[in-house]
Chain A
Amino acid sequence: MTTRIFGSGIRRREDPRLITGQATYTDDVNLPGMVYAAILRSPHAHARIRSINTDAAKSAPGVLAVYTGADTEGVLNAIPCAWVVPDSDVKAVPYPAIATDTVRYTGDAVAAVVAESRYQAEDALELINVDYEILPANVHAESAMNEGTPQLHEDAPNNQAFHWVAAGGDTDSAFASAEVVVTDTIIQQRLIPNAMEPRSAVASYLSSMGELTIWNTTQNPHIARFVTSLVTGVPEHKIRVIAPEVGGGFGAKIPVYPWEMITAFCSMKLGRPVKWTETRSENYQSSIHGRDHVQTVEIAGTREGKITGIRSVVHAGMGAYLSTAGPGIPTILHGLMYSGPYDIPNIKADVYGVFTNTTPVDAYRGAGRPEATFLVERMVDLLANELNLDPVEIRRRNLIPKFEDGFDISLGLTYDSGDYQGALDKVLEHVNYEDLRRQQAQSRGQVTGNGHHDHGHDHGHDHGHDHGHGHDDQPSATKELIGIGVTTYCEICGIGPSQVAGAVGFGGGLWESAIIRFYATGKVNVFVGTSPHGQGEETTFAQIVSDELGVPVDDVEVIHGDTDNTPMGWGTYGSRTTVISGAAVALSSRKIKDKAIGLAAHLLEAAEEDIEYEDGKFFVRGSPDRSQSIQDIALMANVAWNMPAGMEPGLEASSFYDTPNFTFPFGAHVAVVTVDVDNGHIVLQRYAAVDDCGNQINPMIVEGQVHGGVVQGAGQALWEGAVYDEDGQLLTGSMLDYALPKAHLLPDIETLSTVTPSPHNPLGVKGIGETGTIASTITIYNAVIDALKPFGITRLEMPLTPEKVWQAIQQSGKP
């Protein structure tokens, strides 16, 4: 029996070009006659533009043109918001590509220079003189709606971008009659996505044909084409968007930004190809940020630890304008997830989107679900603390029992399948939870008894993120407390049914299509509308086709990212590519098989119902020697010398797949940290993740997704945070100031899984791209707070820097 290719951790087919430096990313594209654009950005968070003098810049060496908002106004339409959530009074304020009279964040475009070289374009930016009237800025989501706060947009009174409410059950009654209520304020700090590849665009306009080609660092080239058409006025069929190699996205490459529209404008004006590539500092200012919630949350429960209700009031910072999917993130993808893996009968989410003089906020890995999971799992731990219950025990009392085909939660969603208890059992057994608690008790005894603690788990990592050699502690004198965080989560992905997309105001469909084409030589191309950028679908989609049709995996090449040669698709985000696009690939494979059976029957002179298929061979039942391989069939279909009556030539199939429901991956994670009570340093000692994404096509890739996701979530808990000063200056404006996770700060992530197939997906898959990030921030946070329990500390603001921890210990007044 051969090993099944579906489920094999084969090495990736995209890697050879990536490990040799032969891959082409957008900034690697060079066209004949190409010139370079650079964008002048506002140094002020809020100001009126009195005047702009571009004379000196225009006459600088190599400069071809300088454009301001006066040039683009009326030529480039406003950048649209594509997720106008209904019944929430969304203020789709004007978002011009280049500011005309007012700038609203440091990073807003004021002018663009085009020059013969990159250096000349940057030089000329320095020569543009802008006279600003500086206005007071508003930078905090929490206070943006307060009276007297500086207003960003005339059409958005009190800086309110929207107000959205979701409710299930009867929250008021649940809280009025609750035996126990616990309250907390949670701050989801603002994060910078930090795909390693900065954003870039190369635009080339062919005036004779009216055709615009844009190489673009996008996660969704077809959406980019659609929106580019709306903004530039070039008809959609005359636009070609190419997402070549894309170096990570994490949500920040979903939106359509003003910058590539400006690049297109420059090419259209000058008749030459134009390249624009941002610097990292520019990326920090002007590519979207994530999170930025202030949440006031209450949880209600019985004394036995049964959760009866949860409700929140959230102020979600949207930044200065509404980015492409901005309003959908803290609403649909956040508020509807408050039930988590629990059966909570009464839920209410009350979400205000607010404008602040900051970089626009949009989807960042997990997009709404990390914020929801954090909120739920934090409140569950607080309730456990209040009731003196173990965090595991309270979860067991509330988890939805195992189900295989549908469970309705109070907010109206139907979860597809789940075995939350099973995932929890597995992770607890793996880490030996009881033993961890014993070690913790021991550490507490030693610390509170002022004893010297032996470094049982020290992996020799730096204690903290101080870029130096952190071995300055004196181990014999340190006192370390062990903390354990346990999370059970359920998330929503495989986004999503198009009908639901319409109902929730998403400005597009969410189906996917795939074309499979067999050539005469038996080789195969698969064309998809999604656009992977590191997730490995060139490999996993080839595995699907190979598994379905018996063609060697190396004979299948997956084509994506170019709107001129791929079918329509809505893009790669929301852990949807394998779920939705992969399903389309499977359906097309099955159509190919159906046609192949018809052709095989004809060639073998048998009835179709007598044809059987196994391992790439079609044969007459009972006579396996009378067979046609899939390659034989492909040859005959392509030359079409001997086809059955009425059958078209060719071996090609196209499918459009729209999912009947979302998918709901889930899992249970455990983090073990040590906190040095003398200096507040935290070390993540262990991290174990049990994730259930349904069937796994390539377990090696699944694990890789979990590793990266967990570490990104750890970044939020321990190190990362975008900080503005009161004037709206971004203080964390470069990689010097914004602390990203580094190799030496991390342990190996212990990945495990359970497999609960999605009942409605043709492949039984659920999605894995975001689970790590969704679960890990709160798991690590809860572990740190658990470590600090002897000090009575129940909350800290992220990132959990040593200083904050040390201050809290000092202020606790406990030993």
Chain B
Amino acid sequence: MAKIPIQVTVNGQTHQAEVEPRTLLVHFLREDLGLTGTKIGCDTSQCGACVVMMNGSTVKSCTCLAVQADGAEVTTIEGVADQGNLHPIQEAFWDNHGLQCGYCTAGMIMTSVELLQRNPNPTAEQVRAGLEGNLCRCTGYQNIVKSVLAAAERMGG
């Protein structure tokens, strides 16, 4: 299959690559760039384990082609911490037991980053509604909601 050249900036680093047009962004990130922090939990865009930021908005990277990311700025879970300092949302997930097996966590954190950008001071109901596209099977969501609310407070929302 013919390959298409793309240029994607991921976590501040620019990558040039040639990919098959059908290559999913999540496979490009995980397999071509070795950024395995982004997870695949389903094949129908339900679970949200693969959420990354693209040009400032969240996308499900299993439902986005790598060629669609050509020229884009992508942030994955590996790029959330600032020079080794945990992002306040990461810190809040840790403090509030917002994860158990950790598989949904990258997607939950990426979604929460956008959620708090849009609404720095959300109610619990708004956080729950904002996580509608992310599934977790371990926590019952309660401590995830608690984590996001704690992060909002810490970030001065």
Given contacts A279-B43, A708-B138, A735-B44, A743 and B97 within 8 Å (CB-CB) = no
Cα A287 to Cα B2 in complex, Å, equals 35
A381 to B102, CA, bound (A): 39
B7 CB, min distance to chain A CBs, angstroms: 22
A711 and B140 contacting across the interface, CB-CB below 8 Å: yes
Per-residue interface assignment for chain B, residues 57 to 95, with 1 indicating a CB less than 8 Å from any chain A CB and 0 otherwise: 000000000000000000011101100001000100111
A118 to B109, CA, bound (A): 28
A417 at the interface (CB under 8 A from B): no
A contact residues around B125 at 8 Å (CB): 459-461, 744
Q: How far is the CA of A741 from the CA of B104 in the complex (A)?
A: 14
* Residue of A whose beta carbon sits closest to that of B89: A19
Cα of A27 to Cα of B20 in the assembled complex, Å = 21
Nearest-Cβ distance from residue A365 to partner chain B, whole angstroms: 9
Instruction: Report yes or no: A280 in contact with B38, Cβ–Cβ below 8 A.
Output: no
- Is A734 in contact with B42, judged by CB distance below 8 angstroms? yes
Most buried by A among B80, B141, B144: B141
CB nearest neighbor in A for B141: A743
User: How far is B42's CA from A279's CA once the two chains are assembled, in angstroms?
Assistant: 7
List, in ascending order, chain B residues with CB within 8 A of A748's CB. Answer: 124, 142, 145
For residue B14, CB closer than 8 A to chain A, the reply is no
A285 is an interface residue with CB less than 8 A from chain B: no
Residue of B nearest to A23 (CB): B102
**How many chain A residues touch B (Cβ–Cβ < 8 Å)?**
61
Annotate A333-351 by CB proximity to B: 1 below 8 A, 0 otherwise. 0000000000000000000
Q: Is the CB of A708 within 8 A of B41?
A: no
Evaluate contact between A704 and B139: CB separation under 8 angstroms. yes
Knowing A12-B97, A196-B136, A704-B139, say if A18 contacts B105 (CB, 8 Å): yes
> Closest chain B residue to A365 by CB distance?
B137
Asked if B6 is at the interface of the complex by the 8 Å CB criterion, the answer is no
Instruction: With CB as the reference atom, state the residue of chain A lying closest to B127.
Output: A743
Whether a CB of chain B sits under 8 angstroms from the CB of A529 is no
Complex contacts, A772 vs chain B, CB 8 Å: 140
A248-B27 contact in complex given A736-B46, A742-B135, A746-B140, C-beta closer than 8 Å: no
A772 to B140, CA, bound (A): 11
| A521 on the B face (CB < 8 A) | no
Closest beta carbon of chain A to B2's beta carbon, Å: 13
Query: A134 contacts the other chain (Cβ, under 8 Å)?
Result: no
Say yes or no: A248 contacts B100, CB within 8 Å: yes
A573 to B36, CA, bound (A): 27
A746: B residues at CB distance < 8 A: 128, 140-142
Point out the residues of chain A lying under 8 angstroms from B37, CB to CB: 20-23
Does A330 sit within 8 A of B, measured CB to CB? no
Known: A197-B41, A708-B139. A20 touches B77 (CB 8 A): yes
Q: Which residues of A contact B131 (CB under 8 A)?
A: 742-744
Convert A682-714 into 0s and 1s, putting 1 for each residue whose CB lies closer than 8 angstroms to a CB of B: 000000000000000000110110011111100
A20 touches B141 (CB 8 A): no
Contact of B128 with A248 in the complex, beta carbons under 8 Å = no
A197 to chain B, nearest CB (A): 4
Evaluate contact between A21 and B36: CB separation under 8 angstroms. Answer: yes
Give the complex CA separation of A712 and B127 in angstroms.
20
Q: Does A25 contact B (CB under 8 A)?
A: yes
The docked-state distance in angstroms from the alpha carbon of A373 to that of B141 is 25
Bound together, the chains give a CA A736 to CA B43 distance in angstroms of 10
User: At the interface, yes or no: A11 with Cβ under 8 Å from chain B?
Assistant: yes
Query: Which of A16, A119, A247, A280 has a CB less than 8 Å from the CB of B43?
Result: A280
List which A727-785 residues lie within 8 A (CB) of chain B.
Answer: 734-736, 740-744, 746, 748-749, 772
Q: In the bound complex, what is the Cα–Cα distance between A119 and B95 (angstroms)? A: 40
In contact, A743 and B137 (Cβ under 8 angstroms): no
Task: Determine whether B25 belongs to the interface, using a CB cutoff of 8 Å to chain A.
Answer: no
Closest to B125 in A: A460
Given contacts A21-B37, A21-B77, contact A248 B138 (CB under 8 A): yes
In whole angstroms, how far apart are the Cα atoms of A248 and B86 in the complex?
A: 24
B137 to A708, Cβ gap below 8 A? yes
- Indicate whether B106 reaches chain A with its CB closer than 8 angstroms: yes
Q: Is the CB of A743 within 8 A of B44?
A: no
A29 to chain B, nearest CB (A): 9
A245 interface residue, CB < 8 Å from B?
A: yes
Q: Which parts of B27-45 form the interface with A (CB within 8 Å)?
A: 27, 30-31, 34-44
- Cα separation A11 to B100 with both chains bound (whole Å): 11
**B residues near A708, Cβ cutoff 8 Å:** 100, 137-140
A24–B36 CB distance below 8 A:
yes
Nearest CB in chain A: distance from B54 CB, A: 16
Check if B9 is an interface residue, CB within 8 A of chain A. Answer: no
Q: How many Å lie between the Cα of A248 and that of B101 in the bound state?
A: 5
Given that A15-B94, A196-B47, A735-B46 are known contacts, is A740 also in contact with B135, CB under 8 Å in the complex? yes
CB contact under 8 A between A19 and B94, given known A195-B101, A197-B39, A247-B103: yes
Q: Is A535 interfacial (CB-CB < 8 Å)?
A: yes
Q: Which residues of B contact A710 (CB under 8 A)?
A: 140
**Which residue in A19, A28, A246, A248 is a CB contact (below 8 Å) of B137?**
A248
Residues of A within 8 A of B145 (CB): 743, 748
CB distance from A7 to the nearest CB of B (A): 16
Q: Are A741 and B140 in contact (CB under 8 A)?
A: yes
Q: Are B140 and A534 in contact (CB under 8 A)?
A: no
B81, B101, B104, B142: the one within 8 Å of A20 (CB): B81
Q: Inside 8 A of B102's CB, which chain A residues have their CB? A: 14-15, 17-19, 23, 245, 247, 534
Question: How far does the alpha carbon of A16 sit from the alpha carbon of B20 in the complex, in Å?
Answer: 35
Determine the distance from Cα of A23 to Cα of B102 in the docked complex, in whole angstroms.
9
- What separation, in Å, do the CA atoms of A194 and B138 have in the docked complex? 10
Whether B15 sits at the interface, judged by CB under 8 Å, is: no
- A541 is an interface residue with CB less than 8 A from chain B: no
Whether the Cβ atoms of B81 and A712 lie closer than 8 Å is: no
* Distance from B135 Cβ to chain A, minimum over Cβ atoms (Å): 6
A707→B101 contact, CB < 8 A = no
Enumerate chain A residues within 8 angstroms of B136, measured Cβ to Cβ.
196, 743
Assess whether A744 is in contact with B135, with CB atoms less than 8 Å apart.
no
A198 at the interface (CB under 8 A from B): yes
Chain B nearest Cβ from A376, distance in angstroms: 24
Residues of B close to A749: CB separation below 8 A:
140, 142
Q: Which of A246-292 contact B (CB under 8 A)?
A: 246-248, 250, 279-281
Which residue on chain B has the smallest CB distance to residue A711? B140
CB nearest to B81 among chain A residues = A20
User: In the complex, which residues of chain B have a beta carbon less than 8 angstroms from the beta carbon of A704?
Assistant: 97, 100, 138-139, 143
Tell yes or no: B152 within 8 A of A by CB. no
Measured CB to CB, the closest approach of chain A to B4, in angstroms, equals 15
30 A-B pairs with C-beta separation under 8 A: A11-B97, A15-B94, A19-B77, A19-B102, A20-B37, A20-B90, A21-B36, A21-B37, A23-B37, A28-B30, A119-B23, A197-B41, A198-B41, A247-B39, A247-B102, A248-B100, A534-B100, A703-B97, A704-B97, A708-B139, A708-B140, A709-B140, A741-B141, A743-B128, A743-B131, A743-B132, A743-B145, A744-B129, A748-B142, A772-B140
Known: A22-B78, A700-B97. 4 other contacts (CB 8 A): A11-B94, A21-B77, A197-B39, A248-B103
Shortest Cβ-Cβ A-B pairs, 9 listed: A21-B37, A247-B103, A534-B101, A18-B102, A711-B140, A21-B77, A735-B46, A707-B140, A534-B100
